[in-house]
Amino acid sequence: SALGEQAGRGELLRPLLFVLLVLCSVLLYFKVSLMDPGFVRPEEEEQAGEAAGQSLGIPQAPGAVKLRRCGYCLVKQPMRARHCQLCQHCVRRYDHHCPWIENCVGERNHPLFIAYLGVQLVVLLWGGHVAWSGLDFQQSWEWLQHNIFLLLSFLLIVIFTTVVLLLLVCHLYLISCNTTTWEFMSHHRISYLRHSQLENPFDQGIILNLWRFFC
């Protein structure tokens, strides 16, 4: 059959791989959006200060900085945690609340969030290539009428690709410095950074920062 011949020539491999990438992207999206990003539970108060810090190789708080209770949920916040008013929880190693996934990005789901961005970027680049290859530009109104949806799809893919690429590059830079989006944007308002003698007390070098984050 024709389908068997196409499979024999390997012509079905690329669309199958593309479908698998899209499926992987969708599964990562739901995993990141539905999982616990690292909520601080009231029953964990006794180990909140040191357990999370040791697991991530985080230096202990400077002597002048005291771990405080959250003014919203009243749990003792470990260092680098922050209360998210949208999730109504304190989140360990809080990075930001992402409206794309309707969830916080924190200690537990941050690596998967990076993986999701990476897979999504590959899908968008591939989709953009397919859309571009289907465009055979001609300067006529009839051509525009027949290709308007393909052209709009390509423009949307370019916009989303740019956004995802910028997000991925920014996050990888911050990870390589062992800092979070919240710490980078609010350095002057965070007590354990403001009272530290070092600009970034968590930075242990690019290689070790990346190793501790992903591995």
Rounded Cα gap, residues 56 and 172, in angstroms: 17
Rounded Cα gap, residues 36 and 104, in angstroms: 9
User: Of 73, 98, 170, 215, which is the active-site residue?
Assistant: 98
Rounded Cα gap, residues 173 and 181, in angstroms: 10
- Tell me, yes or no, if 170 is annotated catalytic: no
| Nearest Cα to Cα of residue 202 among 181, 179, 173, 185 | 179
The sign of the torsion formed by the CA atoms of 87, 89, 91, 95 equals positive
Rounded Cα gap, residues 59 and 129, in angstroms: 46
| Nearest Cα to Cα of residue 178 among 208, 136, 138 | 208
Beta bridge partners of 97: 104
Residue type, 122: V
By annotation, the residues acting in catalysis are 98
